[in-house]
Amino acid sequence: MLYNSLIFIMLFMPIVLIVWYGLSYLSNKSFAKLFVIGMSFWFYGYYNPSYLWILISSLAFNYFISFLFLKISSKNISKIIFILGLTGNIGLLFYFKYLNFFIDNCNFIFHSDISIEKIALPLGISFFTFQQISFIADRYMKKANHYNLIDYIFYVSFFAQLVAGPIVKHDHFIPQLYKDDVGTFKADNMLKGLSLFSLGMGKKVLIADTLALLVNAEYDNIPWLDMPTAWCVIIFYMMELYFDFSGYSDMSRGIGLMMGLDIPVNFNSPFKADSVRDFWRRWHITLSDFLTQYIYIPLGGNRKGKLRQCINIFIVFLVSGIWHGANWTFIVWGLMHGIAAIVEAAFPKFKTKSKLFNVFITQIYIILTFSIFRADSLSQALELWSKLFGFKFMNNFIGMCNTLEIPETYAIVKFLELTRPSLVNVVYLLTFIVITIIAFMLLKGMKAEEWINKYVYTKRGLLVISTIFVWSFISLSHVSVFLYFNF
């Protein structure tokens, strides 16, 4: 089920809110939690009920590992249990996400002909697997309690963060379930949560999906791109990915806030970053935190000399690339970020004194690396880069703008096609200019929650939020999945 769908907005979410608060008020709060767990299972299995067995098996396995830690006091046996738990989680992820990729590469390298049926990737498996790895790692290090079964299942399966994160730590989320006021209706939380959900939906439906029209069309049209259009495409993709994923994260936090639960922030103005390492402190923050806490620091972090630190950075970004998908494009993308981060760590004075210049260079590098991230293959990425640096100008700009066929301009375009056909291209060009200006203003402006805190109780703020919600809701006939559902 998608947040940006009629069934979620008109049926699923109202039922959840009414019953969550109703049961919390009228009866034991465990019944309210069980209800949300049931709704989360429906949410997850909405398109493919068979995925539920994967989620339930993963929950049972990791909870059993946690239970074993409770019963075992021997350090050696605890270590074996931890390795077993880690192997089980990574094995599950490998089978569903990487087995086909592994076999394809084995066939290529060894000229073999191993064949297996294509394995479908279950939604959210990377997110709920990493979430549970963090839990059993903390259990092994005695940094986490063995929670009761209802609270644990609620934590992992909560629909607001199940399929595309954020990656929520147990010590951030579960203690909230023990608070006396959990399930207590608060008008302020409801208003701010609904506002954040609306702004996130606007990011996804009105901005990201519009940018996607151009990006998808031109990534299928790379041989005919020239230098200006190629740069426009990769810049639009970077903005599309940001508005799509940060929009999802805002909607996720908004849902949590409406229910009185805090879900961690996942983005902090990443396009203001002045280095690659700064970028990863601002982009997909919960993944960066996970990789830092459970890979970088256990490897030694920066405590064992500069060379060891650089090796650890390399490993972390290699894991990040692999985590994002079973394709060499993701691995190369991760390594490019790792190399940049190593250079920054090894040569801290490498940056110039101009913050503006550092931001500019960083963003260009980020955009270039993400153009590989978006490509279907390394050969397609190389072809695109040949256009980016080919210094060819073929006047394809207007043709690229014509991919922006949006409902808002449909009537105008049809009218001009009948009366003044020469002006149709002007409409598409203006659409390109307007969406570009809006996107850049939003990237450099206040974060959604800052804006809400400042304007939510003003007439202007309520008018803007209401307009965005209604406009996005009307546009739901063109529902599209969130990009990070693929990871």
324 is known as an active-site residue? yes
Largest CA distance in the chain: 83
- Mean pLDDT for 64-87 is 93
How many CA atoms, within 13 angstroms, populate the side-chain half-sphere of residue 20? 27
Residue in 62, 253, 81, 72 with CA at minimum distance from that of residue 165: 253
Examine the pLDDT at 129 and tell me if it is beyond 90. Answer: yes
Question: Among 170, 284, 324, 337, which one carries the catalytic annotation?
Answer: 324
pTM: 0.94
Q: For residues 156 and 161, what is the distance between their CA atoms, to the nearest angstrom?
A: 8
Please report which confidence band the pLDDT of residue 98 belongs to, taking 50, 70 and 90 as the band edges: very high
Give residue-wise pLDDT tens across range 180-190: 888 999 999 99
Give residue-wise pLDDT tens across range 219-262: 999 999 999 999 999 999 999 999 999 999 999 999 999 999 99
Sorted by sequence, the CB contacts under 8 Å of residue 97 that are 6+ apart come out as 121, 125, 126, 325, 326
Indicate the DSSP class of residue 359. Answer: H
User: In this predicted structure, what is the pLDDT of residue 483?
Assistant: 81
* 144: phi then psi, degrees, rounded to nearest 5: -140, 150
Please report which confidence band the pLDDT of residue 452 belongs to, taking 50, 70 and 90 as the band edges: very high
User: In this predicted structure, what is the pLDDT of residue 480?
Assistant: 79
Q: For residues 173 and 136, what is the distance between their CA atoms, to the nearest angstrom?
A: 15
Examine the pLDDT at 353 and tell me if it is beyond 90. Answer: no
Please report which confidence band the pLDDT of residue 47 belongs to, taking 50, 70 and 90 as the band edges: confident
> In which residue are the tokens 């599209």 written?
480
Please report which confidence band the pLDDT of residue 312 belongs to, taking 50, 70 and 90 as the band edges: very high
Instruction: Calculate the alpha carbon distances from 466 to 107, 183, 380 in Å.
Output: 55, 26, 42
Please report which confidence band the pLDDT of residue 81 belongs to, taking 50, 70 and 90 as the band edges: very high
Give residue-wise pLDDT tens across range 59-74: 999 999 999 999 888 8
Give residue-wise pLDDT tens across range 261-289: 999 999 999 999 999 999 999 999 999 99
User: In this predicted structure, what is the pLDDT of residue 302?
Assistant: 87
> In which residue are the tokens 């304007």 written?
455
- Mean pLDDT for 417-423 is 90
Sorted by sequence, the CB contacts under 8 Å of residue 120 that are 6+ apart come out as 48, 96
Domain ranges of the chain: 6-185, 191-274+351-482
363 and 271 Cβ atoms separated by less than 8 Å? yes
Q: For residues 286 and 291, what is the distance between their CA atoms, to the nearest angstrom?
A: 9
